[in-house]
Every structure is written in structure tokens, then in C-alpha cells.
Amino acid sequence: MRSLFGSSDSTNSTRGSEAGRVARHSSGWKELLKHLRSQESLRILDIGPTSSSNINYITNLGHSIYMANVVEEASKPEWIVPGEAGEPAGFDVERFLESNLSFSGRMFDVVIFWDTADYLPEPLLAPVFTRIHQVLQPGGLMLAFFHATTGPETSFCRYHLTDTEVVEMQKAGNYPLLHIFSNRKIENMLNEFSNYRFFLAKDSLREVIITR
């Protein structure tokens, strides 16, 4: 994780990484962008591979940003706990949360969750959503993507924000897609939150704006 509050990296230094980006219309980002433009000094949590262009964009809007790439961290073997007496191996959920989603008392106004849930091991799903609920301000918003189908074109991506209703997708690793959730399963995972709204999309991603 990296704390990036008040980052002032030069936008020009990020443009050389644009190769391989694919533009995608995002109704969820369009709605969230309206919120970001209408508010001041929000605290944003971006859960995904670090994007310097996202850091620059959010700070230029007058907000602060904190980043955590939990998919990369969850793939590391250090969190696996050996099973006892022939039992299957487990996952050290509490240690993972304290190492990767502990924010020293900080609360957030917005969480950009991307498609993180689709790549997390099953034992982490409910605890991660509970932790996000705990650190999101009442009335705060979260944008999440979920894959509706899988196929050869499915890749773990870094998502880059833009000043339009488009996000740019760039392959960021070879992590396997672990889940395809039904709408009912998504609703069950979000049962701690007060409200959520699904957006229709023309591709294989479903988008949800969730309210704490």
C-alpha cells in the first residue's frame, strides 16, 4: 500500500505508459465523476494497481488519494496457513487485512474498487467488503465492477481515470479470474451497505455504485 495524500507527480511523466490501453465507456465512472466535481477535499481510496495518472487526476480535482493493490498482495503465498491433520490449507485473513487494509483511523469518502472482488480468494470476499464498510464514511460512495462472463479476453487490468465518461484499461498481470457473480450474489455481498445501483453495460462488465 502507498499513502499518496497530496501527491504532486507530473502528469507528463505518466504519458509514456499509455501503450496497450483500451478505452471503455463507464456509466458508473460518469456518475462518480459528477460527485467528485461537485465536492471539495474528499478522501479517495483506489483499490487496484497503482496508476500515476489516477493520482494526478484526483489530486488535481482537489482531493487526496490512498492506494492499495490487494489482488497482487492476496496472490502471495505468505498468507496461506497449512492445514492440520489432513485439513486443506487456509488463508490468514486477519493478518492480511491488518497488513493491507489498515488505515490508521482514516475514513474515506469514496472507494474505487474496480473489479477487485472477481480476483480475490473466497475467504477474503466478505471480510474485505466488511472492512471497506468500516472505513467508508456514512453516505460515502463506492464504484465496483463485476465480470458477467469469462473468456480468453479476460485479463486483470489497471484502470486509468479520464476527464470524460471513459476509463482506460491496461493489462496489469496474469492473475486468474476466480469468480463470476450473479446479481443476487453481488447483492448479498453488499448487504451491509445502505443502497446500490446497477448500470447496464454493452461488454462483459457490470457496474455498481454503492452507498454506505
- CATH number, domain with residue 204: 3.40.50.150
Q: Please give the residue range of the domain that contains residue 76.
A: 2-6+26-211
Which pLDDT band, with edges at 50, 70 and 90, does 19 fall under? Answer: low
Q: What is the mean predicted confidence (pLDDT) over 6-12?
A: 34
Cα separation, 71 vs 79, whole angstroms: 12
Cα separation, 193 vs 124, whole angstroms: 18
Cα separation, 172 vs 69, whole angstroms: 11
Indicate whether 11 belongs to any domain: no
Indicate whether 161 belongs to any domain: yes
Query: What CA–CA distances, in Å, run from 162 to 25, 26, 58, 141, 173?
Result: 11, 11, 10, 18, 22
- How many structural domains is the chain composed of? 1
Indicate whether 185 belongs to any domain: yes
Segment 105-137, tens digit of pLDDT: 999 999 999 999 999 999 999 999 999 999 999
Cα separation, 37 vs 72, whole angstroms: 30
Indicate whether 37 belongs to any domain: yes
Closest by CA position to 113, among listed 192, 2, 9, 207: 207
**pTM check: above 0.85:** yes
Segment 37-57, tens digit of pLDDT: 999 999 999 999 989 999 999
Q: The C-alpha cell of 199 is what? A: 448500470
Indicate whether 69 belongs to any domain: yes
Indicate whether 19 belongs to any domain: no
Within 10 angstroms of residue 92's Cβ, the number of other Cβ atoms is 14
Of all residues in the chain, the percent with pLDDT exceeding 70 is 89
Indicate whether 141 belongs to any domain: yes
Indicate whether 17 belongs to any domain: no
Cα separation, 43 vs 65, whole angstroms: 6
Cα separation, 176 vs 156, whole angstroms: 8
90 beta partners: 81
Cα separation, 138 vs 211, whole angstroms: 8
Cα separation, 175 vs 120, whole angstroms: 10
Which pLDDT band, with edges at 50, 70 and 90, does 147 fall under? Answer: very high
Cα separation, 77 vs 81, whole angstroms: 9
- Residues in contact with 170: Cβ distance below 8 Å, sequence separation at least 6, in sequence order: 17, 20, 21, 22, 157, 158, 159, 160
Segment 173-199, tens digit of pLDDT: 899 999 999 999 999 999 999 999 999
